[in-house]
Amino acid sequence: MAGNNERESLKRVRIKEENDDMELFTLVVGCVVVIVGALNYKRYKVRDLAWNEHERSQKRAMWLDTLRNNRKCQEQLRFDRRCFEKLCRILRSKGGLVTSRNVTNEEVVAFFLHTLAHNLKNRTIQALFAQSGEIVSRQFHTVLRAVVKIGKYYVKEVDTTTSFFNDPKFKWFEGVVGALDDTHIDMTVPLKDRGRYRDRNGHISTNVLAACDPDLCFTYVLPGWEGSASDQRVLRDALQRHAYNLKVPKDKYFLVDLGYTNSEGFLAPYKGTRYHLNLWRGNTPTNSKELFNLRHSSARNTIERAFGCMKKRWAIMRTNSFYGKKTQVRIINACVILHNFLRFEKMDETALMNEVEQDLQNAVVQEEDGGEDYVVSVRQTEEWNKFRDDLAAKMWNDY
């Protein structure tokens, strides 16, 4: 009897040991399966990521390769191939543009210009260039800083020693240094600021003061003022600010429209007399004031053409963009710098200028309401009115 009990006990112990061994074996096999599966997943995941990165690199390379065609480059970036390559070199050497290992210098400049040319959102650029949103945003601001940095080489003060006697439009105005006017550019601003930035047409915009020479190169630009600010107010600020002020020598002057006072340094046309070029079709001047206004309008039209050329090239200047207020002001400065860069490089702009001329001809005419070595205020004086009358009489006598 005792022997039977002992055998039963040994049998139960043996069965328990076999079950324990089976559980241990199952556990080991399960662990091996999990580890092998994880290794395979990691291998396939790395391979998929590498393949996706390869696809993205190919996509970027194909898009950049299309820019080697001069026509495509102008359509996408508003730059021809020669000017684009030179801009990349200048931004790297003078603008301090430094890119990361994930993007090239040409790539970031290309999507910066593409954004300005077509006013695209960050997400659109992500899809086009197959880059992350962080890279697109960071590199856009990197290139923007570099462009603003080279501004001192392209937006220069008025050269008061230059004579425009050989220019058929400016030869009648001895002492003129260019044309000056303002333009409104739509902006996106916080809700609390919309009242101040709402202009007389009801748009949320910034009032941009600018001056240019007869070659359509901007010599001064002051963006950032609220759309509700008057032209005279912006001009006074430009003359009196301590840094980056508008310098007008005492014996020189800008041509301005009826929105400004006829005062020292700023020669305005006669009020109550035909002025805009659209009004002179099929007509000839009948007195000295009309002749003066006609020639004044022909010369001052350069600032309108400069604005039109810049807005035609950069769509981001025609509608409000998706950036913050400060960034939008810097973008306006960057567009002016790039405009001057292309003027200095003599890029062929015949087709663009023809479109601008056509727009100006079809525009609806709207009449405006009316240091010691530099002009620092805007005041109407009898001396300056007499200067305008004498100049008009001289033109009429020579007519």
What integer is the mean pLDDT of 354-369? 65
Task: Give domain limits for the chain.
Answer: 1-66, 67-153, 176-398
Asked whether residue 149 carries a pLDDT value surpassing 90, the answer given is yes
Query: Cα–Cα distance between 368 and 327 in angstroms, integer?
Result: 30
Predicted TM-score of the model (pTM): 0.80
Q: What mean pLDDT is reported for the chain?
A: 82
φ, ψ for residue 93 (rounded to 5)? -85, -40
- Give the span between the Cα atoms of 399 and 397, in whole angstroms: 6
User: Which has more pLDDT, 261 or 337?
Assistant: 337
| Residue 372 in this model has a pLDDT that exceeds 50 | no
Strand partners, 222: 209
Percent of the chain at pLDDT > 70 equals: 78
Question: Which has more pLDDT, 234 or 398?
Answer: 234
Q: What angle do CA 118, 122, 127 make, to 5 degrees?
A: 90
For the stretch 284-332, pLDDT in tens is 788 888 889 888 988 999 999 999 999 999 999 998 888 889 999 999 9
pLDDT in tens, 100-118: 777 888 889 998 999 999 9
Instruction: Provide the residue count of the chain.
Output: 399
Describe the chain by its helix, strand, coil percentages, rounded to 5: 55, 10, 35
| Pair 211, 219: CB distance under 8 Å | yes
Q: What residues have CB less than 8 Å from 241, skipping those under 6 apart? A: none
Q: Which residue has the tokens 């022997």?
A: 3
